[in-house]
Chain A
Amino acid sequence: MADPMRIRAQAQGDKTTVRVLMSHEMETGQRKDAAGKVIPAWFIQEVSATHNGKPVMSAQWGPSVAKNPFLQFTIKGAKAGDKVAISWKDNRGETRSDEATVS
């Protein structure tokens, strides 16, 4: 299982800024190892976010996103104590979901 994400969600007025760090290799499939063999592509393809269970954001990612990616977005109308959940799925079908409380 993949390492946990770090999620911070901070409300300020009507807007809540969500910052997410994901632990992932994000291998492009373009690189070769020391023996000259292509390292197979391995990257996050789908990212989705929910606010108290309701979808608020979804994204499709490709191999050009950096290793250990950082994602920041703003949601409207969230209050302190609300739950923000993020999940991703990579091209190997592996998934990871984590949740944070808005502060």
Chain B
Amino acid sequence: MRRLLLTTALALACASAFAQKSTADGIAEYRAMLADGNPAELFEAKGEELWKKKRGPKNASLERCDLGKGPGVVKGAWVELPRWFADTNKVQDLESRLLTCMETLQGLSAAEIAKTPFGRGEQANMEALAAWISAESRGSRMNLPQGHAEERRMYELGKRAFFFRGGPMDFSCASCHGEDGKRIRLQDLPNLTKNPGDGIGFAAWPAYRVSSGELWSMQRRLNDCYRQQRFPYPGYASDVTIALGVYMGVNAKGAEAIAPAIKR
């Protein structure tokens, strides 16, 4: 019987490949190796189960939840979010929409969930749901609607938030994500003021972060961007986070969705 420690072999293979190629090639190769076994799949499986499971004070599943393409339609919904919803008269992203569904259908408290730290309790369930729902649109192209006046207003609001400079370092989103060819340490930074390409930027989140072993939703991604800018944390599913989603999503029109992706 053979005993093997696969991870060690993998790490060694990576290290030797690194020496001959450019750093960017090495990173790309490392990502390709990881992508084959993206643990986001584990979250997807959990999310699908959660969608169908009867839960909450009303003991209901989310199968009647309208993500924009009619009650219960999940396929293709994610590439059209955030969008305007008639029942709430609001532009909502995936997570704020899920909050609405969890409250109206299941009787869970949206305010309570919004206050919960990332990765705990219902927020952990939220990540799994986001993983599965985005995976159901994998391979589709980003196609956010801009037909409603509110959607266009949110785009403009998101654009302003994107270029808004402030904080102790006088940063804006655009400081890092407003030009081509920028990077932070070894990470390439996508230019989010235009379509950054297939599976990059908005089309890649939610994503599994190898470094922390967590699945990050777009809300968490944005929350961490604000932290890095030394801004106050934005409220979970707050208007500014949704507006930024509209701005990035509309700019990425036509980009292929690969979420949930895998990140370093």
Contacts and interface: CB of A to CB of B under 8 A. Distances in A.
Nearest to A26: B213
Contacts of B2: 57-58
Interface string A17-39: 00101010010000000000000
A73 B42 contact: no
Given A65-B7, A66-B210, A71-B6, A21 B1 contact: no
A57 B1 contact: yes
Contacts of B3: 58-60
A85 B90 CA distance: 49
A72 B3 CA distance: 13
Interface size class of A (residues with CB under 8 A): 20 to 34
Given A19-B36, A21-B37, A21-B39, A73 B6 contact: yes
A72 B36 CA distance: 10
Contacts of B45: 3-4, 6
28 contacts: A3-B42, A3-B45, A3-B46, A4-B45, A6-B42, A21-B37, A21-B42, A23-B42, A55-B1, A57-B2, A57-B4, A58-B2, A58-B3, A59-B3, A59-B6, A60-B3, A60-B5, A65-B5, A65-B7, A66-B213, A68-B213, A70-B34, A70-B36, A70-B37, A71-B6, A72-B6, A73-B4, A73-B6
Interface pairs A-B: 3 shortest CB-CB: A70-B37, A67-B213, A68-B39
